[in-house]
Amino acid sequence: MGGCIAPDTITVEGLPVRFMYRAEPSNDVDSGWQFFSGTESQEYIDDSSNSAIYDVNTIANYDPAIIQYLHYPTGTDLIRVEGSDEFIEV
Protein backbone atom coordinates (compact mmCIF):
# COMPACT_ATOMS: atom_id res chain seq x y z
CA MET A 1 0.00 0.00 0.00
CA GLY A 2 2.87 2.38 0.72
CA GLY A 3 3.87 4.81 3.40
CA CYS A 4 1.76 6.99 5.67
CA ILE A 5 2.16 9.47 8.49
CA ALA A 6 1.05 8.67 12.02
CA PRO A 7 1.75 10.34 15.38
CA ASP A 8 3.12 8.77 18.54
CA THR A 9 -0.35 8.97 20.08
CA ILE A 10 -1.23 5.96 17.88
CA THR A 11 2.07 4.11 17.61
CA VAL A 12 3.51 4.72 21.09
CA GLU A 13 0.51 5.51 23.30
CA GLY A 14 -1.74 2.98 21.54
CA LEU A 15 -4.75 5.24 20.97
CA PRO A 16 -7.09 4.25 18.13
CA VAL A 17 -7.30 6.12 14.85
CA ARG A 18 -10.08 8.69 15.07
CA PHE A 19 -9.32 10.73 11.93
CA MET A 20 -7.85 9.61 8.63
CA TYR A 21 -7.13 11.81 5.63
CA ARG A 22 -5.73 10.92 2.22
CA ALA A 23 -3.63 13.69 0.73
CA GLU A 24 -2.02 13.73 -2.69
CA PRO A 25 0.95 11.32 -2.48
CA SER A 26 4.32 13.08 -2.59
CA ASN A 27 6.13 10.19 -4.33
CA ASP A 28 5.69 6.61 -5.59
CA VAL A 29 5.97 5.02 -2.14
CA ASP A 30 3.61 7.47 -0.40
CA SER A 31 -0.01 6.30 -0.02
CA GLY A 32 -1.08 9.81 0.98
CA TRP A 33 -2.74 8.53 4.16
CA GLN A 34 -2.37 10.48 7.39
CA PHE A 35 -3.80 9.10 10.63
CA PHE A 36 -4.59 10.90 13.90
CA SER A 37 -6.03 9.92 17.28
CA GLY A 38 -7.78 13.28 17.65
CA THR A 39 -5.99 14.08 20.90
CA GLU A 40 -3.10 15.91 19.22
CA SER A 41 -2.88 19.69 19.51
CA GLN A 42 -1.69 21.73 16.54
CA GLU A 43 1.56 22.34 18.42
CA TYR A 44 2.01 18.58 18.85
CA ILE A 45 1.41 17.93 15.14
CA ASP A 46 3.74 20.78 14.14
CA ASP A 47 6.61 19.11 16.05
CA SER A 48 7.89 16.54 13.54
CA SER A 49 9.51 14.50 16.34
CA ASN A 50 5.99 13.42 17.41
CA SER A 51 5.20 11.67 14.10
CA ALA A 52 6.90 9.27 11.72
CA ILE A 53 6.45 7.59 8.37
CA TYR A 54 5.18 4.02 8.57
CA ASP A 55 3.99 1.41 6.15
CA VAL A 56 0.18 1.59 6.06
CA ASN A 57 0.13 -2.08 7.05
CA THR A 58 1.80 -1.18 10.36
CA ILE A 59 -0.98 1.25 11.27
CA ALA A 60 -3.59 -1.29 10.14
CA ASN A 61 -2.05 -3.71 12.63
CA TYR A 62 -2.50 -1.10 15.38
CA ASP A 63 -6.10 -0.40 14.32
CA PRO A 64 -7.66 -2.92 11.89
CA ALA A 65 -10.84 -0.79 11.60
CA ILE A 66 -9.07 1.38 9.01
CA ILE A 67 -8.52 -1.46 6.53
CA GLN A 68 -11.88 -1.27 4.77
CA TYR A 69 -11.31 2.42 3.95
CA LEU A 70 -7.77 2.27 2.58
CA HIS A 71 -8.95 2.06 -1.05
CA TYR A 72 -10.72 5.45 -0.78
CA PRO A 73 -9.35 8.12 -3.16
CA THR A 74 -7.14 11.14 -2.59
CA GLY A 75 -9.07 13.88 -0.78
CA THR A 76 -10.93 11.47 1.48
CA ASP A 77 -11.43 12.83 5.01
CA LEU A 78 -12.90 10.37 7.51
CA ILE A 79 -13.86 10.50 11.17
CA ARG A 80 -14.60 7.49 13.36
CA VAL A 81 -18.16 7.10 14.62
CA GLU A 82 -17.85 7.28 18.42
CA GLY A 83 -17.71 3.84 20.04
CA SER A 84 -17.51 1.89 16.78
CA ASP A 85 -15.19 0.67 14.06
CA GLU A 86 -17.09 2.66 11.43
CA PHE A 87 -15.79 5.83 9.78
CA ILE A 88 -17.85 8.41 7.94
CA GLU A 89 -16.80 11.13 5.50
CA VAL A 90 -16.44 14.63 6.88
Confidence of residue 42 (pLDDT cuts 50, 70, 90): very high
Give per-residue pLDDT as tens, 1-33: 899 999 999 999 999 999 999 999 999 999 999
Contacting residues for 27 by C-beta, under 8 A, at least 6 apart: none
Q: What is the pLDDT of residue 72?
A: 98
What pLDDT does residue 18 have? 98
Report the DSSP beta bridge partners of residue 13. Answer: none
Query: CB within 8 A of 56, min separation 6: which ones?
Result: 1, 2, 3, 4, 31, 33, 70
Q: The pTM is what?
A: 0.95
Round the average pLDDT of the chain to a whole number and report it.
Answer: 97
